[in-house]
Amino acid sequence: MQKRQHNLCPESLENLTAELDKLRQLILTHAQSDPVIQVDQQLALTRLIPGLTMEDWNNLSEKYGFSEWFALDLDNSTYFNIANLQRVINDLTHKSERDALTGLYNKQAFEHKLSMELQRVERSNGQLSLAMIDLDDFKSINDTFGHSCGDEVIRTLADMLDASTRGYDHAARVGGEEFALLLPGAGPLRAKALMDRLCSMFADTLIKCKGATIQCTFSAGVASLKGRNKAKGQDLFDVADKALYRAKNAGKNQVHVTRQLIEFEYDRSTMVHSNEKQFLFSGSK
């Protein structure tokens, strides 16, 4: 079936795109120059465009990058427009949480996931592991093969993290060549086994780019905790980072694990001290 073309003539389309671009720039300039405007303030603007259908608009929006503009179809029901608005909101939410290159969570979204999982661990007395992953000698790959091949290496590792982990694990790209992997319910032994497997798989992967074959490795550091604790997300990041640096210093292409964060598990003020034990079990009245 032949795709129906939009009813706007080329001149009208050119005027429409020019007006939208002009309005976008005007809004951005105003927002940057006015310190009163807050990041969370938003405004919706509408304009009637005769002869343009929702299908036409969706095609134009995708082609010209008008995803921040929301269209209302006055020929359809309120329900249709609400459903369309929900679709746009979901799409924007997804984009705001995802890294553009890999499709993994970005750092901000990952930190939110980590915060939620730490609350779950505290409520359920469960366990949790966080792995920090860094590509080895990545600068030399960019210098030798170019940044586009470097991007291909990053995407390859991202795809592997996404495909080789459980459905309730969370993978993120948190830096240029740095990734994080959140493993709910996994203790240090299970996390180490998973990361060792991924480390070996990635080292054996041949990445094709611009006629070249690239092999790359990564190093990883893992931090784990269990039980009711007062650990914060940054605490776990810091411990995993230290383990990552140990893996790098030990020769790279390996995984180092920091065992359970004991200092965060117990509230020592409630522990029974040795002199109290002696009193309790001495039989004294």
Phi, psi of 130 (to 5 degrees): -125, 125
Q: Would you call 214 helix, strand, or coil by DSSP?
A: strand
Q: Which two tokens stand for residue 136?
A: 């080895």
Q: Which amino acid is at 269?
A: S
Q: Would you call 185 helix, strand, or coil by DSSP?
A: coil
Q: Which two tokens stand for residue 49?
A: 């465009």
Among 177, 178, 263, 276, the active-site one is 177
Does the annotation mark 177 as catalytic?
A: yes
**DSSP secondary-structure letter at 269?**
G
Give the DSSP H/E element, type plus range, for residue 131: strand 127-135
**DSSP secondary-structure letter at 282?**
S
Q: Are 187 and 226 in contact (CB under 8 A)?
A: yes
Listed as own residue / partner, the contacts of 148-153 with beta carbons closer than 8 Å and 24 or more positions apart are 148/209, 148/210, 149/207, 149/209, 149/210, 149/212, 149/214, 150/177, 151/101, 152/207, 152/209, 152/214, 153/207, 153/209, 153/214, 153/216
List residues with catalytic annotation. 177
